[in-house]
Amino acid sequence: MPRERLSVVVTRRLPEAVETRLSELFNVRLRDDDTPMTRTELVEAVKEADILVPTLTDSIDAGLLGQAGERLKLIANYGAGVDHIDVATARQRGILVSNTPGVLTDDTADMTMALILAVTRRIPEGLAVMQKGDWAGWAPTALLGGRIGGRRLGILGMGRIGQAVARRARAFGMQVHYHNRRRLRPEVEDELEATYWDSLDQMIARMDVITVNCPSTPSTFHLMNARRLKLMKPTGVIVNTSRGEVIDENALTRMIRAGEIAGAGLDVYEHGTQVNPRLRQLPNVVLLPHMGSATLEGRIEMGEKVIINIKTFEDGHRPPDQVVPSML
């Protein structure tokens, strides 16, 4: 007699290829529209599902997990970050958590370099001139930006993405520096031609560009606070494609408005979609709607990892990308 297929609930619309494959393999309930589930809908989902497939827009906290049914045994997160999931509480309740690490490394690193170029070369300002029809022709002093070759890049967080950024930055002729919880192995440093700074403060004060590539944890909340932002050169630029909470957004806004920081490129924000309105008004700030991982190839690969995690669990084995509290 064939085994009953697992009940899988997906909280957001996923690429069609991923949804099709999930439907072939499991008893899956897909989302009809591309909006986050309400709290009521999430409660219903955790009560009825064997497997929940959430995204970063879903808050899987202790209160929600406390309402989960006996069936829920795996939260197969569609994404690498799991700061929206109470992994410790899930573990206490016997619910495994998996994620999709490593898939979006290159996509996010590409976006980091795109933001560095956009800010330093004033690309959005030029685009705005063209869209308004205000271009009167080439001029020697019009929209002068800065060359990134030779500039010092300080990478805050030297994991997979930080290292991918370093490789790209070297190709552009930038000098690579980094601060990390743990220093890289000498052979990795040599390959990246990267200089390690034990003191984050000292690194920040000497860099031309800072990129934030560290995860969101209690220790990284407002790691770039007002005091550290003040250490930056007035000509310095900061880019964030990691997590918005790492930067004190209000302090950053004040300092850019005061001319104490030359510009910023942000793909993530401290309060999600509630971006500081004063930040939106600044011509030397490039704001993107969390596009760092937005490639079709990357999103399909994320889905493939989710499917592998679920299928491995269904076969009675530990999901290859299982997350445990000690990893966070």
| pLDDT tens-digit readout, 132-148 | 999 999 999 999 999 99
Give the pLDDT of residue 1.
41
* Burial classification of residue 140, based on how many CB atoms lie within 10 Å of its CB (0-12 exposed, 13-18 middle, 19 or more buried): exposed
Residue 179: beta bridge partners?
A: 156
Amino acid found at 10: V
CB neighbours of residue 188 within 10 Å: 13
- List of E strands, the chain: 7-10, 27-29, 51-53, 74-76, 96-98, 152-156, 175-179, 194-196, 209-212, 237-240, 263-266, 285-287, 322-323
Integer Cα distance of 203 and 57 in angstroms? 33
Going from N- to C-terminal start, the domains of the chain cover 7-103+295-327, 105-287
Give the pLDDT of residue 249.
97
Residue 2: band (very low, low, confident or very high) from pLDDT cuts 50, 70, 90: low
Residue 210: beta bridge partners?
A: 154, 238
Using the predicted structure, report yes or no on whether residue 306 has a pLDDT greater than 90: yes
Give the pLDDT of residue 291.
95
Give the pLDDT of residue 5.
85
Fold of 105-287: Rossmann fold (3.40.50)
Average pLDDT, whole number, for the chain? 95
Higher pLDDT, 325 or 150: 150
Using the predicted structure, report yes or no on whether residue 112 has a pLDDT greater than 50: yes
104, 298 contact by CB (below 8 A)? yes
Give the pLDDT of residue 326.
58
By 3-state DSSP, what share of the chain in percent is helix, strand and coil, each rounded to 5? Answer: 40, 15, 45
Using the predicted structure, report yes or no on whether residue 219 has a pLDDT greater than 80: yes
The rounded percent of the chain whose pLDDT value lies above 90 is 93
Q: Do domains 7-103+295-327 and 105-287 have the same CATH topology?
A: yes
Give the pLDDT of residue 324.
83
Using the predicted structure, report yes or no on whether residue 3 has a pLDDT greater than 70: no
For the domain spanning 7-103+295-327, the CATH number is: 3.40.50.720
* Burial classification of residue 116, based on how many CB atoms lie within 10 Å of its CB (0-12 exposed, 13-18 middle, 19 or more buried): buried
Higher pLDDT, 327 or 101: 101
Q: Residues 176-202: pLDDT tens digits?
A: 999 999 999 999 999 999 999 999 999
164, 188 contact by CB (below 8 A)? no
Using the predicted structure, report yes or no on whether residue 223 has a pLDDT greater than 50: yes
Using the predicted structure, report yes or no on whether residue 327 has a pLDDT greater than 80: no
Using the predicted structure, report yes or no on whether residue 4 has a pLDDT greater than 80: no
Give the pLDDT of residue 25.
95
Give the pLDDT of residue 79.
93
Residue length of the chain = 328
Beta strand 237-240 pairing with 263-266 = parallel
**Mean pLDDT across the stretch 142-171?**
97
Count CA atoms within 13 Å of residue 182 on its CB side: 5
Using the predicted structure, report yes or no on whether residue 55 has a pLDDT greater than 90: yes
Sign of torsion over alpha carbons 38, 40, 43, 49? negative
Give the alpha-carbon dihedral of 178, 225, 253, 269, to 10 degrees.
70
